[in-house]
Structures are given as structure tokens and as C-alpha cells.
Copies of this chain bind each other. A is one copy, B any other.
Amino acid sequence: MQSRTPASRTGRPRSAAADTAILAATREALVELGWSKLTLGDVATRAGVAKTTLYRRWAGKPELVCDAVAELFDELELPDRGSLAADIEGVVLQFAAILARPEAKSGLMAVVAESTRDDALRERIRTSIVERQMRLVLQGRARAQSRGELPPEPDPEESARTVDLIFDVVAGAVVHRTLVSGKPADEEWVRDFTRVLLLGLTSSA
């Protein structure tokens, strides 16, 4: 996870199997115990490693859970469904399915909460979780522009602003629906959401 790319090529290498076992054990503990009752000692036991090994690789609970949750978003992709609306509905449903899993629910929000007082953690979240989602927005937008469904954006600065805005609206709505309102972001909801996102409130039938 933490790139030790060129440095330190001597000595016993770190067990890659331990990494995957620890991250899997972390998700398992998140499901069974939730964020607040999850302890690093328990995770170490589940993973079959010593507690000290855990502390050698991760600074603390937030960093560990961040990495464990980040892997959940690996499966996100943007299949070409032919139209911008269909593309949005597809990726939002994928995103909602991940957020519905208990390990994502209890882990993600807690890590974000911690990141409000920890800049390094915020950056870690950005690179390992947010950026992966942001790529889909960029991809979908480019595809829609090539289809002519969205107007091209000549100004790069305004373009970046728009992408940021869309991302916050889409991700924020799904997260809020799932975690705050506590209701499922099912197909019906996603259909309504996509219509509002594309056409706005004023054009609602």
C-alpha cells in the first residue's frame, strides 16, 4: 500500500500475504464490531499476525480502515450503456451497492470524520478513495461530450469546477441517502435522481 518503491532493497521483505490478511480481517471486524468497537489487537488476532506487525505498517486505526475500505471501491467501473442517463444510473447503482455493505457504512464515515482534524489522513482518503471515484465522473463526462449530450467546455478552469460540482452532488446524494436518511438507493430512487441531475427540478413531470 505505502510505496516503498526504490528504497530499502536489503533485509527480509514484508509479507504481502500479511497485508491482504490484515485488510480482510479489518473488514471482517468492521462488519462484526463496527468502527468504535474495532481494536487493532483484535484485527491482529483475526489476521494471524502480531499486534506489533500492524503498528509497523499503519500509523493507527484510521489509516488501516481507510486502506481496507478503499479496496471496496476497486470494482467500480463505467460500462458504456449508450446514453449519459444510462451511464449515470449504472455507476450510481454500483456505488450504492458498495455503500450498502456494512463494512463500508461503518468505516467510511468514521474515517472521513477523523480526517477533519488530520490533513495527512484527508490526503490518504483523497488519493485512495476519492480519486478513483472522480475518474468515473471525468470518463462519463468525456463520453457524453463525444456523444453530444453535453456541451464541450473550452475553459479548463471552469471545466474542473463543473466536474468537482458533479462529483459532490452525485457522491453526496448517494451517501446521504444511504447513511443519513437510512433508505436504500434502489433503482427507483436512482432513476428519479438521474432525471433531476440531468433536467433539473423545474422540468419535473
List A residues at the B interface (Cβ < 8 Å).
34-36, 102, 105-106, 108-110, 112-117, 122, 125-126, 130, 149-151, 161-162, 164-169, 171-177, 179-183, 189, 192-193, 196-205
**Bound form: Cα–Cα A106–B115 in Å:** 8
Tell me the smallest distance from the CB of A3 to a CB of chain B, in Å: 23
Closest to A114 in B: B36
On chain B, the residues within 8 Å of A167 by CB distance are 176, 181
Tell me the smallest distance from the CB of A131 to a CB of chain B, in Å: 11
On whether A116 and B34 interact (CB within 8 A), knowing A130-B181, A164-B183, A175-B176, the answer reads: yes
5 closest A-B pairs (Cβ-Cβ)? A172-B176, A172-B172, A200-B200, A109-B113, A110-B113
Tell me the smallest distance from the CB of A102 to a CB of chain B, in Å: 7
On whether A117 and B106 interact (CB within 8 A), knowing A151-B204, A169-B193, A193-B165, the answer reads: yes
Tell me the smallest distance from the CB of A108 to a CB of chain B, in Å: 8
Interface of A is mostly: helix
Closest to A185 in B: B168
15 A-B residue pairs with CB within 8 Å: A102-B116, A109-B112, A109-B113, A109-B116, A125-B180, A162-B192, A165-B193, A166-B201, A167-B176, A169-B169, A169-B172, A169-B193, A169-B196, A175-B176, A197-B200
On chain B, the residues within 8 Å of A201 by CB distance are 150, 166, 197-198
Starting from the known contacts A172-B175, A176-B176, 13 additional A-B residue pairs (CB-CB under 8 Å) come to A34-B116, A109-B112, A125-B180, A130-B181, A150-B202, A164-B181, A169-B176, A172-B172, A172-B173, A172-B177, A175-B175, A199-B200, A199-B202
